[in-house]
Amino acid sequence: MRRRDFVKTTAAGSAFLLTPGVWAQTLKNADPEFCYQSQRKIPVAYDVDVVVIGGSLAAVAAAVEASAAGARVFLAAQEPYLGEDVCGTFRLWTNDQTVQNTGLGKKIFANGLPTPMHIKKTLDNELIDNNIDFLYSCYITDIIKDENGVPAGVVIANRSGRQAIKAKTVIDATPRALAARLAGAKFPAYPSGKQTFKFTVVGNDLKKGPDMSAKKHQEPIQVKYASSGQSHGDAFSETDIKYSAIEYTLQIDMKDGSYQSFANAEQIARDLTWDANQVESSDLLFQNPPDKVEGQKKYDKANVDPDNISMDIFRPRGIDNIFILSGSAALSKEAAEYLLQPGKLIRIGERTGAMAAAVAGETMPAGELKVCSAGKKYTFTGDVFETLEGLRPSLNHGEIIAEETTLPVIANADVVVMGGGTAGAPAATGAAKNGAKTVVLEYLHGLGGTTTLGMIGKYFHGYRKGYTEIIDEEINNMAPGNPRKKRRLSEWVFDWKTEYFRKEIRDAGGEIWFGVLGIGAYSENGRVKGVVVATPEGKGVILAHTVIDSTGSADIAIAAGAGYSYTDGLSVAIQGAGLPFKNPDDFYNNTDWTFINDSDMLDVWRAFIVAKDKFDGQYDIGKMPQTRERRRMTGDFTISVLDVYNGRTYPDTISAHLSSFDTHGFTEDPFFSLKPPEHSGIDVLAFVPFRSLLPKGLEGIVVTGLGASAHRDAMPVIRMQPCLQNQGYAVGMAAAMASMNKQMIRNINIKTLQKRLVEMENLPEHVLTDQDNYPPPYQKIQEAAELVVNNLEGLEIILWDIEKGVAAITDKFYFTGNEEDKLVYARILGMVGKPDGWSELIRAIDTFEEWDEGWHYTGMGQFGKSISYLDSLIIAAGRTKKVEALPSIIRMAEKLTPESHFSHFRAISIALETIGDPKGAEPLFKILEMPGMRGHTMQDIKTAKKLTPPDKNDVSTRNSSLRELVLGRALYKCGDFNGVGIQILNDYSKDLRGHYFRHAHGVLQMFSGQKELQIEL
């Protein structure tokens, strides 16, 4: 269909002339309106016989059975774990004895009440052992059809973007049968009025109310004593902690079957059941759906035999190759209730899997496959901007056309906050309390992000005045006499903090939607008009005057076209990441044992799987990766290391940040290579200008938190929770101002905002009069150039204004007669790529007989230097690009042993690859030939499981891989030797770990031309 076939009913843009509240309300009660989406190509990630949508027990059983019948199978789970029907809804207790009759049920329930960890891990292993590919955190967004309109696969959305899965049959294990709905199956309208839901909480007091009844489970939840990261044997002991769990049956008023209504129902369930004793709650509401599909057959009776019930009841009328594996099948209410017990549904799953495989065997999709247009009239011009690169470029199996179409507007607001984390939850309170109609959208089922679900429930340093002080005090006072109340304001009870934000936002009139994935921006000519979301009820657009992107990795801004910085062909530097275990009531399990790219679903999948091996025996696994460093969009202004180090002031400061340089790894900036960051006791006060939160070239959007525009080495000071909470609140206020004043957020009166932030002590008073104190006066630079020979005093001034600083240093280098001073100048010049002092550097290197004390990557506690003095001389010599430096560098390279420090390998690699001479290749090759240097890739999940050590912060495999990759890269860039460099890069281009993949793939893309030029040896 061409664009002209659509009918546009109103002019876009005119909507923005209305006052925000009115604008929002005008649309609210209208029939669904639609936004335009252009034609696009969706990369194909998997080409299989059977695709399973959903990760329930039955879904896994179906996948295994289909695979056993010879089908190629892929499974996409909605939650960050498998078993959502049991772990997500907290239906861990079952009286269903038949569960023991199924292989899977027996593995899960044989030893009594299972822990979520046991269930999730058993399900993972079930798929892995049967070689079934699967991913977490995916929503289905579209059905692919063949030329005859027959379903031929699905499109899924996740944080890697959208991908197509070609499949001959679809097993739809989503509770609401979304795949069947998207394929055109018929369902009655969702009845409005009171509907029955179940919701489980743990630890809470029993509540009574008009629309609720409660069942206290006889058997308590039992948690191994002490969340130490080590399990204490297999058995539970007397000291173990017990919590009672209550399953509530709630009658909740539903307006309709929209996701907005379901999201609201979840909030009501939480309103009704929360109290300060809560240590855990369901992620998901459980419901036996009242609106069941029109099946090929209908089952009216109450009693049902899962072994013999006709499978046609699970197939939508008129669609032969979709199976509904949930309570949405064409069952009576009673039969569905019965079959939703785990043992029964697993059995139906097994039968479905076998049948789906058989149907796949008889199905041959006809002609071209595509995603067809919805063909609705659209009201809003603009387009959907999203990521369509596939899971990994090299893994794509071609592309599928998605026709030009329309997307429904599923809500609208003055301010939409995407991501309700550390900065996002305060952003929503800031916007809602300041009069904006606010919606906050969060994938997980709680607010607070890393501070809560990320299990970092206490501060490290940080600027703790202003809104943060209010949060801390109010959370601490939520239940004064409660024994769980923390003694310090710098830590909090997990469930209290999530509840605090939830209540604050709801009390201020804001809406909260959990279970929503932000997958794109709705934008026109750089003006972001809303966010594109995937929900368990389908895809849609939420329009807003201003979008606050609080995903912590600028997901929406980047989808809208913002540039960004991250690991790539030039850099593999990334802060250590982790993924923790979680027991009820845990609030702080800080880990650092891997690197994770949150925006790479294969990597996230790998991390969740190996983490369960690491923390085997714990009660549960965390629900979000602990990533300290993420994608940073390119803003109107990018904060440099020296802006932070020198306490740069700005006229538009929006937040104050206080911390030491908590680097969790090595630094890259030349300044730190000369003068390392201070240790953890010494804090730096840094300011963030509003411009660094505004993506360059985009209007209507602002980014908070870890996604802001800053050099990676500047971020360790900026990223602390107290400061990001204040930043979020300030941005929420700014967005409310923008929508009230009908302005673009870039144009708000920053001084008015700052005055209010000063009043509430979010900012110190001087920001009101602060001017930009960059650049430093030339005289100061010259003074520093004189003094720098004393322990690099004033280097931060010299390198801040690098052009003038280098000129001053160069003068000093040539004029000084003092050899030691000359070397200082030579080292600085070399580090910034100036060749003048190359001979001094070589002489200095040659004075070393042996390597000095280097630096090793560890898990946690990495402050200060990440290279030695000799490392810095070698890097500086390399950066002069003088081939004359090679013999000195190679002499030291030959002294390396497998036990040498990581920083020495890195220094040698950087020096040799920067010179790029083929003579550098053989020494690198020889290093790689030493025992233990090669073969550390993790290209498949079984290898990843095998190579990941059990200790909480063991980084040995992470380090071995990093060393191999850095050396292999350098070898390749020197022209390679025996093809080892390219082999290493090719191997890491297939590694499941996203940052190693990004680096290896990036090097191959960026330097392939150069390699041919340098190939002679």
Ligand X SMILES: Cc1cc2nc3c(=O)[nH]c(=O)nc-3n(C[C@H](O)[C@H](O)[C@H](O)COP(=O)(O)OP(=O)(O)OC[C@H]3O[C@@H](n4cnc5c(N)ncnc54)[C@H](O)[C@@H]3O)c2cc1C
- Write out the residues near ligand X by the rule CB under 6 A: 159, 419-424, 442-444, 449-451, 454, 456, 459-460, 462, 517-518, 550-552, 555, 578, 590, 624, 626-628, 705-706, 719-721, 724
User: Of the two residues 166 and 631, which places its CB atom closer to ligand X in the complex?
Assistant: 631
User: Least distance from C-beta 878 to ligand X, angstroms?
Assistant: 33
User: Least distance from C-beta 531 to ligand X, angstroms?
Assistant: 9
User: Of the two residues 331 and 624, which places its CB atom closer to ligand X in the complex?
Assistant: 624
Distance (Å, rounded) from C-alpha 897 to C-alpha 882? 26
User: Least distance from C-beta 82 to ligand X, angstroms?
Assistant: 19
User: Of the two residues 180 and 723, which places its CB atom closer to ligand X in the complex?
Assistant: 723
User: Which sign does the torsion angle of CA 705, 710, 712, 715 carry?
Assistant: negative
User: Least distance from C-beta 391 to ligand X, angstroms?
Assistant: 16
User: Least distance from C-beta 936 to ligand X, angstroms?
Assistant: 23
User: Of the two residues 249 and 680, which places its CB atom closer to ligand X in the complex?
Assistant: 680
User: Least distance from C-beta 320 to ligand X, angstroms?
Assistant: 35
Q: What are the residues whose beta carbons fall under 8 Å from the beta carbon of 987, sequence distance 6 or more?
A: 937, 939, 1000
User: Of the two residues 447 and 763, which places its CB atom closer to ligand X in the complex?
Assistant: 447
User: Least distance from C-beta 342 to ligand X, angstroms?
Assistant: 28
Q: What are the residues whose beta carbons fall under 8 Å from the beta carbon of 1012, sequence distance 6 or more?
A: none
What's at 207, amino acid-wise?
Answer: K
User: Least distance from C-beta 311 to ligand X, angstroms?
Assistant: 36
Q: What beta strand segments (E) does 428-469 contain? A: 438-442
Q: Which contiguous run of DSSP H or E holds residue 383? A: strand 383-386
Task: Show contacts of 609-612: CB within 8 Å, 24+ apart.
Answer: 609/124, 609/128, 609/941, 609/944, 609/945, 610/944, 610/945, 610/948, 611/579, 611/580, 611/581, 612/117, 612/120, 612/121, 612/124
User: Of the two residues 328 and 535, which places its CB atom closer to ligand X in the complex?
Assistant: 535
Q: Which contiguous run of DSSP H or E holds residue 728? A: helix 721-740
User: Of the two residues 154 and 517, which places its CB atom closer to ligand X in the complex?
Assistant: 517
How many beta carbons lie within 10 A of that of residue 23, not counting itself? 20
User: CB–CB of 637/711 below 8 Å?
Assistant: no
Q: Which contiguous run of DSSP H or E holds residue 198? A: strand 193-202
User: Least distance from C-beta 673 to ligand X, angstroms?
Assistant: 24
User: Least distance from C-beta 789 to ligand X, angstroms?
Assistant: 37
User: Of the two residues 576 and 830, which places its CB atom closer to ligand X in the complex?
Assistant: 576
User: Least distance from C-beta 211 to ligand X, angstroms?
Assistant: 30
User: Least distance from C-beta 598 to ligand X, angstroms?
Assistant: 7
896 Rama sector, left if φ>0, alpha if ψ -120 to 50, beta otherwise: beta
Closest CA relative to residue 610, chosen from 144, 951, 213, 996: 951
Q: Which contiguous run of DSSP H or E holds residue 511? A: strand 511-514
User: Least distance from C-beta 449 to ligand X, angstroms?
Assistant: 2
User: Least distance from C-beta 390 to ligand X, angstroms?
Assistant: 17
Q: Tokens 């991908």: give the residue.
A: 163
User: Of the two residues 650 and 729, which places its CB atom closer to ligand X in the complex?
Assistant: 729
Beta bridge partners of residue 148, listed in sequence order: none
Closest CA relative to residue 944, chosen from 602, 615, 630: 602
Closest CA relative to residue 988, chosen from 936, 950, 949, 945: 936
Residue 469: CA atoms inside 13 Å, Cβ hemisphere, count? 8
SS3 percent helix, strand, coil of the chain, rounded to 5, is 35, 20, 45
Distance of CA 310 to the CA centre of its chain: 42
What's at 497, amino acid-wise?
Answer: K
Judged by DSSP in three states, 129 sits in: helix
User: Least distance from C-beta 584 to ligand X, angstroms?
Assistant: 20
- Both structure tokens of 489: 């304001």
What's at 43, amino acid-wise?
Answer: P
User: Of the two residues 627 and 663, which places its CB atom closer to ligand X in the complex?
Assistant: 627
User: Least distance from C-beta 228 to ligand X, angstroms?
Assistant: 17
User: Of the two residues 288 and 660, which places its CB atom closer to ligand X in the complex?
Assistant: 660
How buried is 337 (Cβ within 10 angstroms: 0-12 exposed, 13-18 middle, 19+ buried)?
A: middle
Q: Which contiguous run of DSSP H or E holds residue 242? A: strand 241-243
Pure H helices in 130-188: 178-182
- Both structure tokens of 896: 């390396």
User: Least distance from C-beta 59 to ligand X, angstroms?
Assistant: 23
User: Of the two residues 518 and 830, which places its CB atom closer to ligand X in the complex?
Assistant: 518
User: Of the two residues 166 and 529, which places its CB atom closer to ligand X in the complex?
Assistant: 529
User: Of the two residues 521 and 828, which places its CB atom closer to ligand X in the complex?
Assistant: 521
User: Of the two residues 554 and 828, which places its CB atom closer to ligand X in the complex?
Assistant: 554
User: Of the two residues 444 and 784, which places its CB atom closer to ligand X in the complex?
Assistant: 444
User: Of the two residues 323 and 857, which places its CB atom closer to ligand X in the complex?
Assistant: 857
User: Of the two residues 378 and 595, which places its CB atom closer to ligand X in the complex?
Assistant: 595
Q: Which residue is nearest to ligand X (CB)?
A: 421
Distance (Å, rounded) from C-alpha 69 to C-alpha 58? 16
User: Least distance from C-beta 659 to ligand X, angstroms?
Assistant: 7
Q: What is the DSSP string of 247-302?
A: EEEEEEEES-SSHHHHHHHHHHHHHHH--TT--EE-SS-B---SS---BSS-B--S
User: Which sign does the torsion angle of CA 791, 793, 799, 802 carry?
Assistant: negative
Q: How far are the Cα atoms of 60, 329, 600, 757 from residue 81, in angstroms, in the given order?
A: 12, 24, 16, 40
Distance (Å, rounded) from C-alpha 706 to C-alpha 599? 13
Q: Tokens 């240590």: give the residue.
A: 279
